[in-house]
Structure 1
Amino acid sequence: MTEGLRPERPRDSSKAYATLVTNADFAVGAKALVRSIGLSGTEADVVVMHTGAVSDSSLEPLRLLGARLVGIDLLPTSDAFNARHARDRLHGAAPFTKGSKPPFHTPLDNFAKLRLWQLDYERVVFLDADTLMLRNCDSLFDYPEFCAAPNVYESVADFHRMNSGVLTARPSQVTFARMLEELDDTDAFWRRTDQTFLQHFFPDWHGLPVVYNTLQYVWFNMPALWDWPSIRILHFQYEKPWQVPHPRQAQLAPLIALWAAYAGGGPVPDAASLPNPLLLA
């Protein structure tokens, strides 16, 4: 067994879609994501990495949907590193100015995402637990390491920054060891946690089309770019669709309703048939 990982059962495929759950709230998000991946028709494994902060009752719905659960430890980072990346200190030094993160957002836990490089797969596509797969994305397994979409949600000026909510990886213990060496360097401060670190570690990252990681703020910031038939993965960055009350309910109601359909057990709409925001203005 790989140190720091505790899989419940053996793998069924050499490829996997993986996500990370660090508390009960993100387990709620992961349920909708896991269901959406299953409905895409993929034959790849669906892996949910989870920390000890998640109860078995929160994980059971994911298990029932067929996910392979893999318990993980948080990374062995130093006390000084942990203090620098604690929620209050991190958000004080690098505040979010475009939107708000929910209170259950725990920035330090984000670094546990790096354990996906320890998984026993040849190829992995990682998706944050606040995403939905709207159509099959198996072609991503043929993309090289490391690919991610640009962090575009306000203007095209954001194309130089990556968003780590969807990425392609080739698990490797050697790569993981190198990551740990660079991550907790003296006085290291990663402004947007794993996202900033990964852009540093993979400076020549390959850009995915934004349809593989369409950020929800595009809906109201750049409505002319929204095209339901093209979107493959929808990402609820900032506020989460299961928050009650939701701070942007009025602005994001159609997206929240779509997430709720996947989170439930009934039918889901064909996203290609949904109206674009310009038609609702």
Structure 2
Amino acid sequence: MIISFKCSSVDSTERPSLGNPKREAYATILHSAHVYVCGAIAAAQSIRQSGSTRDLVILVDDNISGYHRSGLEAAGWQIRTIQRIRNPKAEKDAYNEWNYSKFRLWQLTDYDKIIFIDADLLILRNIDFLFSMPEISATGNNGTLFNSGVMVIEPCNCTFELLMEHINEIESYNGGDQGYLNEVFTWWHRIPKHMNFLKHFWVGDEDDVRRKKTELFGAEPPILYVLHYLGMKPWLCYRDYDCNFNSDIFVEFATDIAHRRWWMVHDAMPKV
């Protein structure tokens, strides 16, 4: 089932490119477990290092403790508590059981525009200009599909209701929110891959491609705008090397250069 839907009757391409910064925010979400708290804290630090002064909003559920919430608040996140949304097609206790909670982003109607970011990425260069882009703007994933790790969205209760209305019907190609959202937002707008560059060496990558990717991961000043950490996360590894090297399953995500960059952002955080 494929649905193409716009909340507003106004063509988004005709909207003014300059919005109200007070009604624009970066947002992320944590639910079910605290394992991504460190990632969200570093992501907030990277946004501030990029020079952005937009609001930082994080959606959390009751599984995120007061201790972890205090750390998130210290990093600059404004906390909104939500009720999780279960993926009805997921197995109990599976990794994707609650990832439809991301739909709650569309309920942030006190903002006109949201740049959603996954909690396992870093902003290396200012991306505030994406607030001038329409919903949904994202990088390509495979062919005609987009990656939901970085998305420009326009909060709207009727969009949220649409997402919920078809939750039992739509088949997600990857079993998660990314596949579901691709079925709904078929008219998405492509932004360059440097806006959500995946830390990943594909099986078919030749030596020259791998070398160029490694240079991008470590370039100073940064060339990439956003670096997305796939595989085992830096805060779950040792400081001095990328533990993705320790597993044949995850070695395609391994690079000490990108790993060190995450820790540089971590170490630049103010000491509380």
What TM-score do you get using the length of structure 1 for normalisation? Answer: 0.74
Instruction: Report the alpha carbon displacement of residue 243 of structure 1 after superposing the two structures with TM.
Output: 2.1
Which of 210, 218, 231 in structure 2 is aligned with 1:223?
210
Flag structure 2 segments of 5+ consecutive residues without an equivalent: 1-20
1:20 aligns with 2:29: yes
- Tell me the equivalent position of 2:65: 55
Report the identity percentage: 30
Runs of 4+ residues deviating >6 angstroms: none
Aligned AA for 2:24? K
Residue deviations 1:133-157 (CA, integer Å, cap 9, x gap) = 0011000000011111012xxxxxx
Which of 167, 171, 174 in structure 2 is aligned with 1:191?
174
Instruction: Report the alpha carbon displacement of residue 36 of structure 1 after superposing the two structures with TM.
Output: 0.5
Aligned AA for 1:195? Q
Residue deviations 1:181-239 (CA, integer Å, cap 9, x gap) = 11222x84552411001110001111111010000004984436533443000001232
Report the aligned-residue RMSD.
2.4
Aligned pairs for 1:105-120 (under 5 A) are 106-119=95-108, 120=110
Residue-pair matches, total: 228
Instruction: Report the alpha carbon displacement of residue 162 of structure 1 after superposing the two structures with TM.
Output: 1.5
Q: Is residue 85–residue 189 contact of structure 1 (8 Å, CA) maintained in 2?
A: no
- Tell me the equivalent position of 2:245: 248
- Tell me the equivalent position of 1:213: 196
Flag structure 1 segments of 5+ consecutive residues without an equivalent: 1-11, 90-105, 152-157, 268-281
Residue deviations 1:150-184 (CA, integer Å, cap 9, x gap) = 12xxxxxx343321100000000011001101122
Aligned residue for 1:176, secondary structure, equals helix
Aligned AA for 2:28? T
Higher helix share: 1
State the alpha-carbon separation in 2 of the partners of residues 165 and 66 from structure 1.
Answer: 20
1:86 aligns with 2:79: no
What TM-score do you get using the length of structure 2 for normalisation? Answer: 0.76
Aligned residue for 2:27, secondary structure, equals strand
State the alpha-carbon separation in 2 of the partners of residues 56 and 146 from structure 1.
Answer: 33
State the alpha-carbon separation in 1 of the partners of residues 178 and 139 from structure 2.
Answer: 11
Q: Is residue 87–residue 107 contact of structure 1 (8 Å, CA) maintained in 2?
A: no
Instruction: Report the alpha carbon displacement of residue 70 of structure 1 after superposing the two structures with TM.
Output: 0.8
